């Protein structure tokens, strides 16, 4: 595999901002809007301590802006844009920003609602609409390839990690072979090898196994992953095989990655009884901090303690995600980091 001069920075690279798309009262979160908005305010306040916050709002941008300022987000770090949207999952409808030369380019991949499961036309157009209202200082380039940001992880050293269940799903890019997909990833993200996970899944996940729910790079040599120690737990067998696969991965220098297992919280269920995909791999790395999902579970603190040694110099902060998980996503799923120098300071 060969790469181009474009490079997707790893999440720990310096960031200009984090993007959120605010929940709507008339959206899927309507029945528990108060809880999810509280989660968003806590998340926004935590981000605002460390870097700029870019918020997309379907309507009443001034009202949301007042809420954020009242919650403690510094006015100097807040930008709010009123644009149509379908849902909150910024990780998947936001741009994937690559470094090109001395600047950055926002790559606008196609978004089809995780293989046609949900309405997506407004989210698919969101990055281009933001460009039209002046949200982006860097250029936007459309890529005719279905891809969500939650589907990939890079180690900053030429390797990209993803899952077969997601990227090879026939509902995304059915005309392309695995080799075609690998070539596309290498071309756009400056990587030279693709690490494919064949196993790993959380019950209730409707993304076809996004990597950001399962395994994450902490640095070029370390992978934190969703583990499971209870042999009676429904996830045990699948996550155990996934851990073996991760142990067989090698970086570009032929070295094994250090593996950090994260605990599995106690099961959380929706009102209809369906299990929700709660886990701790869905953390977000930002400037000088790591934000980790919290579910009111004793495992919350264990997860933060296991991550802390692998992020020296970064504060490890728990953020309540019990409202978010009601719609089958968590903290990383609703955020998209914008690396420097995309947005001028």
Q: What is the predicted pLDDT for the residue at 98?
A: 97
Across the range 125-135, mean pLDDT stands at: 96
Asked whether the beta carbons of 81 and 20 are under 8 A apart, the reply is: no
Q: What is the mean pLDDT of residues 156-170?
A: 98
Residue 343 — very low, low, confident or very high, per pLDDT cuts 50/70/90? very low
Q: What is the pLDDT of residue 5?
A: 83
Least confident among 196-200, 213-217, 337-341: 337-341
Q: What per-residue string of b and e applies to 255-276 under the rule 16 or more CB within 10 Å gives b?
A: eebeebbbbbbeebeeeeeebb
Segment 228-237 mean pLDDT: 96
Per-residue pLDDT for 192 more than 50? yes
Per-residue pLDDT at 4: 65
pLDDT at 266: 97
Among the listed residues 104, 186, 218, 333, the single catalytic one is 333
Sorted by where each starts, the structural domains of the chain and their CATH numbers stand as 15-339 (3.75.10.10)
Give the tens place of pLDDT for each residue, 257-266. Answer: 999 999 999 9
Active site residue 333: yes
- Average pLDDT score over residue span 336-343: 79
Judging by beta carbons within 10 Å of its beta carbon (0-12, 13-18, 19+), is residue 36 exposed, middle or buried? buried
Given a cut of 60, whether residue 94 has pLDDT beyond it is yes
Nearest to 293 by CA among 254, 323, 327, 272: 323
Burial of 62 (0-12, 13-18, 19+ CB in 10 A): exposed
Q: What is the mean pLDDT of residues 295-312?
A: 98
Please write the tens of the pLDDT for every residue from 9-33. Answer: 999 999 999 999 999 998 888 888 9
Answer whether residue 345 shows pLDDT above 50. no
Q: According to the model, what pLDDT value does residue 2 have?
A: 46
Backbone angles phi, psi at 219, to 5 degrees: -165, 180
């Amino acid at each position: 595999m060969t790469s181009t001069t474009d490079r997707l920075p790893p999440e720990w690279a310096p960031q200009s901002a984090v993007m959120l798309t605010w929940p709507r009262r008339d959206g899927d979160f309507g029945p528990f809007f108060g809880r999810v908005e509280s989660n968003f305010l806590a998340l926004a306040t935590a981000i605002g301590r460390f870097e700029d916050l870019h918020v997309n709002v379907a309507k009443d941008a001034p009202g949301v802006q007042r809420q954020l300022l009242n919650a403690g987000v510094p006015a100097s770090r807040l930008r709010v844009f009123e644009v149509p949207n379908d849902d909150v999952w910024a990780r998947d409808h936001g741009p994937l920003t690559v470094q090109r030369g001395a600047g950055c380019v926002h790559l606008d991949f196609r978004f089809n609602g995780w293989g046609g499961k949900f309405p997506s036309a407004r989210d698919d157009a969101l990055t281009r609409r933001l460009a039209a209202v002046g949200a982006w200082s860097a250029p936007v380039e459309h890529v005719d390839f279905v891809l969500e940001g939650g589907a990939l992880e890079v180690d900053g050293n030429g390797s990209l990690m993803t899952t077969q269940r997601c990227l090879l799903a026939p509902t995304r890019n059915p005309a392309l072979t695995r080799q075609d997909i690998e070539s596309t990833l290498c071309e756009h993200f400056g990587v030279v090898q693709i690490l494919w996970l064949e196993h790993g899944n959380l019950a209730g996940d409707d993304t076809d196994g996004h990597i950001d729910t399962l395994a994450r790079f902490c640095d070029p040599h370390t992978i934190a992953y969703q583990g499971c120690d209870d042999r009676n737990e429904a996830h045990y067998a699948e996550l155990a095989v996934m851990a073996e696969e991760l142990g067989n991965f090698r970086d570009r220098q032929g070295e094994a990655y250090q593996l950090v297992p994260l605990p599995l919280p106690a099961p959380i269920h929706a009102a209809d009884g369906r299990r929700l995909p709660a886990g701790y791999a869905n953390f977000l790395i930002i400037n000088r901090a790591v934000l980790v999902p919290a579910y009111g579970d004793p495992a919350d603190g264990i997860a933060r303690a296991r991550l802390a040694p692998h992020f020296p110099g970064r504060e490890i902060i728990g953020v309540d995600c019990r409202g978010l998980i009601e719609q089958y996503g968590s903290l990383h799923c609703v955020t998209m980091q914008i690396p420097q120098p995309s947005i001028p300071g």
